Chain A
Amino acid sequence: MASVTFENVTKKFGDVVAAKDQDLEIKDKEFLVLVGPSGCGKSTDLRMIAGLEEITEGKIKIGDRVVNDVPPKDRDIAMVFQNYALYPHMNVYDNMAFGLKLRKFPKEDIDRRVNDAAEILSIEPLLDRKPKQLSGGQRQRVALGRAIVREPKVFLMDEPLSNLDAKLRVQMRTELSKLHDRLKTTVIYVTHDQTEAMTMGDRIVVLKDGFIQQVDSPLELYNKPNNMFVAGFIGSPAMNFLDATIHKDGNEYFAEGAGAFNIKIPDMFKEKVKEYDNKKVVFGIRPEDLTDARISHDLDITKENSFEAEVEVVEPMGSEIYLYLSVDEHSMIARVDAESDAKVGDKIKLGVYTQKMHIFDNETEEAIF
């Protein structure tokens, strides 16, 4: 068990920067998820920890030891990928044990490790079976078992579930989280899937173009994104962004959008927008923080917390409805209660839970609140 620390880590491939001046402290026994779109550098980060990629600048520590020059085999890590190899002529036991055998571990030690891993993964009855006799989920567990028997200080997982069908992926997500609880080991997990990140991580690192955008717990990321990228990346459907201008009216501040809306900034955020009077900003609101004013039970609709929008598509999801709307020239989505009877072409009033709204700097895209 160990912490992993990045100190000013930079990785360049020629002129391409895959990691830029990254500082990160992954705590011992933490389940940390690296998430971001394709090409953001998340797999590069993982490979640098593994020692597969050399770092260009900075330091990586596993525990207290700087591992920049430590070969991968001596780093006490184990990697799990989506595309693992189970050898068809070997039974489950041998598929988990061959690495230890070839490293000359004593037989008793191998037995203990494989049996322990099999118990943790609940695959003890399968040890004599060949891979073709296993289900997809069981195979995935064997691949995990091969990593577990190495008893590493840190598990590195690179999109291990992305080859599975949707149902199995959801099941394995839960299993991996439980596994982490049982192993009590540091897990660093790479995914492009924000749902996976939100449901599994103790903390999440959001990456873009090699830069760390934010490191936080799932809820903090969701509720307090640092910038528009994080706000848009985390959450599904994604946060709505509308161009707006801050203006002051008496003691109040408003986010005004080309005559289409004029939302009052709640008192708790007033201080933060003082400097932005008459400046362009981006107004952000999550789909679930909008409501169909006609069926709103817990929001007193006023002209300062609502605006009109035209319904373009209605998508009933069972317990709720997704409304695809147009406001001025912008498109947006509202996730409203299933009671809503909004129809395509209707002009409806949308209520805004203003305490949940976000305002971003128009130029830097950083969150003002």
Chain B
Amino acid sequence: MTLDRVVWSMLHEALAVYRDSPRATAWLRSHVERYTEPVRIAVAGRSRIGKSTLVSALIGDEFAPLSSFVWYRNGAEPRAHVFSGPGRPHEVTIGRRGSRHHVEIGQFDRADRVVVDWPARTLRDVVLIDTPSEATPEQVLGDADALLYLMRHVQDDDLKFLQSANDHPIARTAAIHTVAVLARADEIGAGRIDALSSAKQIARRYRRDVAVQPLCQNVVSVAGLLAVAAKTLREDEFQALRVLASLGREELEDHLLSADRFVGEQFPVAMEPTVRQALLERFGIFGVRLITALIRQGFDSQVKLTGQLVQRSGLGELRDSIAVHFSERREILKARSALLALDVLFRMEPRQNARKLMTDLERVVASAHDFRELRLVAALQSGRTKLPAELQAEALRLVGAEGTAPLARLGFEYEADPREQREALLDALVRWQAQAADVHASHDHRKAAQIVVRSCEGLLPQFP
């Protein structure tokens, strides 16, 4: 039985055991419901780090930030509900000011949460939760299955947050739910034109950093403003930027030296200061610099420009990361959340007849192969377990560090036919069995090899 089936039946068993406790039943019901939903991803980080901007960029529509938890779900038509205290949620309208959508929460200033139903492709696979910056790790992770943590350079406070997010026995054995984001990548390198590529390099360094690596699955750099701009660039803005790009490079550079200069009185082309101010607010001084440079380089249609911006801003990479680490691992993330919830329940209301479930829980956490795979990934990436370089790469691939589809695991760059895949799989299996039985290898080495063998065996039924 796969992990998610096991956990699903455990949830139902727990419902039967706790049927006389209304609180426990409500708790379990909500988790049963949540089990079939898309992955919930909380977006957290310090204040003004760009959480709302990043959420807007992922959705593809710009939303004004609110001071409470805001859930973005997929919905046929735009609607918003405010949950405040007990009682039924209130429906509120979603207005529009300029390029931004505003959820008019009005008198519900201190809402527990705001739920926005919005038609967007991204939201088909995930639910995004924008969190207020003062929220504690417990609050952030209470309702979420996964975490996007935004930071600039990694600071001690950030590490502390991520550590406390993993500070639970089950969470520790399955620390698989975090992707760190170097937000505001455009500000790295003082807004120079190559800021984004150096931000990418920094992200790469953090991915190997021993302090950061065990705490998250990946580190990506994203320039939030640019990403939003890429998704929501309007015709009039594009035209204005084209006008700017038509100026001489030297001449424009002078006026792009500082934000003050850009909106200043003397400007070589006829353009209202308010227009310039708006451009600055939307794209930032770096955005204006980059976009005009790109237009000059020949990305002079809106479509070309958008593609280029999505790629450069790091939004594409972030989306891939979300897909590989979160959406594709929906079952296991959901199972993880449910196991955590069961653990909370058993602690809060211990029962004699829940004994069996408690031992089941322990067994599942200790033995689920999916968790083992992910633990191996973490161990290999953090260097806790060492394999020879070429084996390490293959082991990571086979246990699904680069994607859990058979093609990704077997390392095919193209659509190989099943026979070919089967051969590759059997080859890997035999080789890794030899590794697992190698008496000269270290204990860690053999254990890692055993997990890889098990992963290969798990793939076998797919190629009869």
Chain A partners chain B: no
Q: Which residues of A contact B (CB under 8 A)?
A: none
